[in-house]
Amino acid sequence: MGKIKTVEIIVRGDIIEKNIILKLANRLKVSKLRADFSSSVAVPPVLMAVEKRYPSLAVLYGTVDIEDLFQFKALVEELCCDLECNIISFKEL
């Protein structure tokens, strides 16, 4: 790996219901990008959230080879677009 960048991505949507974290991990594995991430998910009270369609938040901290940074960002944006969730922020730390 070359130079590593750390990024913080905040995603809003049906994180649990649409299994967004697992789908991102699978796409990342298939893509062969030199990147990985950890995540924390904040879910409103689950029964109420499902019934009233309240969105959840996921905070992802990724480590990405600087050469793959733009491809990684595009991969996350494409997934969010496909699953109808929003990227609140994408910051390099």
- The helix (run of H) or strand (run of E) holding residue 89 is strand 86-92
b/e sequence 27-61, b meaning 16+ C-beta within 10 Å:
ebeeeebbbebebeeebeeeeebeeeeeebebebe
Percent of the chain predicted with pLDDT > 90: 73
38-72 tens-digit pLDDT? 999 988 887 777 788 888 999 999 999 999 999 99
Write down the pLDDT at residue 1: 58
